[in-house]
Each structure stands twice: as C-alpha cells, then as structure tokens.
A and B are shown apart, each in its own frame.
Chain A
Amino acid sequence: MGQKEKQVLVSLIASLIIIVFYSLWVFNRYIESNPEIINDLKFWGRSFIVLIPVAIIAQIVIHILFAIINKIVTDEDISDKDDERDKLIELKSLRVSYWVFIIGFMSAMGAVALGMELWVMFVTLIVSGFLSDLISSVVKIWYYRKGV
C-alpha cells in the first residue's frame, strides 16, 4: 500500500471515529436528558459550529500520530507534496463527493418540504456530509489501486 493510500485510509478511519464519538457525546450530553431539544434550532446550530473545529483538530491530531507511528515503523517521512496523479484523483473523488452531498442536501430539503420534523433535515445533512467524505476516501483508494 502506497503512502497516499495509507493517508487516505487514515482520513477515512479518522472520519469514522470523529462522527461516532461526536454523535455519542452529543446524544449523551444533550439528547438523552432532554429529547425535545432535537427540534431546537439553537441546538443544531451549536452542534454544527462545534463539530467543524472538533473534526478539523481531530483530523490534524490523528494525522500527526499517524506520521509519528509511520516514521517509527517504516522509517519513511510522510510527503505532503501532491503530484499530477494525486491532483487528478483528488478532483475525481471530489466530483463524486459533491454529487453525494447534493443528493443528501436535496433529500434534506425534501424532508422539510414534506413537512417532516426539523431534526430529520439536520440529521440528513450531517449524514450526507459524512457519507460524502467517506465515499470520497473510498473513491480515492479505488483510483489509487485500480488506476486512473
């Protein structure tokens, strides 16, 4: 497995860890004690605002840990330089990721249009954001393995 593939795999695992732990934390801290909060706009606003920096910091920390472990195990430095193939793969995966998010966004708006509760829209938005990230990573690994 190449270095870039490893990095993408780490991103994928990091995304999974972040979304699972953040969801559990939000559920245990807010929703469990007060289930009515899921239809409160302020709650969702705060959840999104906190999720973004938490996700970014957690990704950075996980990547630093990966770089340290990788250096110890393989004695190789992680290259942050992308060549033309990396950029092409990035663009192709981004295209797939956008489509996934657009479908999720339309579904979220559809839920609102159908008169569903507010939380359905926000959960659909979070799930589609997470899925688009996940699928983007899977597509990248696919292109690195099968060729582009």
Chain B
Amino acid sequence: MAKCNIENKIRILRFHAGEMTQQELADKTGVSRQTIMAIEQGKYSPTLELAFRIARVFDTPVGEVFFYRND
C-alpha cells in the first residue's frame, strides 16, 4: 500500500469528547466502526464529505482533525 501522508487526531478528539467510542462516532457519521478504526490507524483516507462530517461531530474545523504530514 502507498504510504498515507494524511494523519488525524480523531483518537484525541474522541477522548476529549468524553471518551466517545468508535461505534458512537461511526453512528454519528453514517459509516461502520471498521471504517473509523481504519481512518484512525491511517489505513484509509476519508472523502472530503466524511472528513467534514467527522469534524462537525467534534464541532471543530476539518483542519484541526486532519493534517498533511510533509516527509
């Protein structure tokens, strides 16, 4: 697989949201728990729409959730 340069802070944001579970986030964004897990582990880069939906759950700008890492 090509190395994914998009990283995210979903795990931290879930913690700050009262230890929100992956399943809760999945239900709020309309995807499966496996997809949330894959995003957190950097195994899948979400579409722009899903990225915005995730950011909206945490009431934060999308740039605060996802960021591009320059190697």
Contact = CB atoms under 8 A, between A and B. Distances in A.
Interface string B29-71: 0111011001001111011001000000000000000000000
Contacts of B31: 83-85
A38 B50 CA distance: 53
Given A84-B47, A147-B42, A148-B43, A79 B32 contact: yes
A146 B2 CA distance: 10
How many interface residues does chain B have, given as a range? 10 to 19
Contact of B38 (A3, A79, A81, A147): A147
B26 to A, nearest CB: 9
Nearest to A84: B47
Contacts, number: 40
B12 interface: no
Contacts of A4: 32, 34
Contacts of B35: 83-86
A26 to B, nearest CB: 39
Interface of A: 2-4, 79, 81, 83-86, 144, 146-148
Interface of B: 1, 4, 30-32, 34-35, 38, 41-44, 46-47, 50
Given A4-B32, A85-B35, A148-B38, 8 more contacts: A4-B34, A84-B46, A85-B38, A85-B44, A144-B34, A147-B43, A147-B44, A148-B44
